[in-house]
Structure 1
Amino acid sequence: MFTNTEIKDYETLNKMLKSLIEDETDRIANLSNASALLNVFLKDINWVGFYLYEETSNELVLGPFQGLPACVRIENGKGVCGTAFRGNDIFIVDDVNEFPGHIACDAASKSEIVLPLYKDGKGIGVLDIDAPVYERFTEEDRKGLKAFTDTLINHI
């Protein structure tokens, strides 16, 4: 099992992602495999998945995920996911209860990381990962997951 603190673990995870998606062109299939891969190899998480941007409603809509049922729609700019997406900025939240406007889909979630997905300047959505422990996500997670989403973006 990966420790999530060494970048070499993320490099291995990224290679696994590439092998899963390199010959597949279907966006939902690739996002599904990406969320399953993260769910298996990241420790101390309770939800991992994607919200996809729907331009007509200006909302993020639930996409492929692993975990308990989740909020279906998040308004652009609201909650951790909507705020990260609007600003195209990675958010690490050590305590979700302290984030103004946090949308609680699972009361067990204590910390969160959200990575916006943009391709050619156009917003696609976000990768959202929740943990049942406080301060779960580190700068190493930020770097490793950014490399992961960079690889994924090329195949969706």
Structure 2
Amino acid sequence: MVLDAADHGRDDRGETLVELLVAVVILGIAGVAVMTGLAMTVKASDIQRKSTTNGAYVRSLAEAVQDWVAAGHYAACPAANAYLSPTVRGRLTGLPAGSGLSHDKPLSIGPTGARSACTTDTGVQLVTLHVTSPDATASRKVDEVLTIVVRKPCDPSVAPCTS
């Protein structure tokens, strides 16, 4: 190849600075997209794990509350968290430190099935249980909720049981 004086040693083999910048920008955008996708996957996996774990704990809490009530600890129109005795809490082994356990103030269920604020005890209550994960970040905090029916135990030695 013969170079003339106008070429001054230039040829068509290399890339220009603009082509290199475009390639770097495209790779940068693709890299950010991949990393964002991975971060979202990790976050979703963390939330799903906490939801599954808290779901198991809220069901265990429901069983513990129902056993507590069946053992004679039914409370007429109790306050919120009244059924969360140390015995009930002790049944939830392995619960992560800092997890929240609570229940709302029970609602009274009347003979027709109507729910109302508990002012007069009907012997049947609707209790909403909560197990919350111990996260400082609100976007990753998981609150599993389960509503159970608590019924005053029947003691035939005191009075006949009615349905």
TM-score, length basis structure 2: 0.31
Larger proportion of strand: 1
Which one scores higher on RCO, CA 8 angstroms, separation ≥ 6?
1
TM-score, length basis structure 1: 0.32
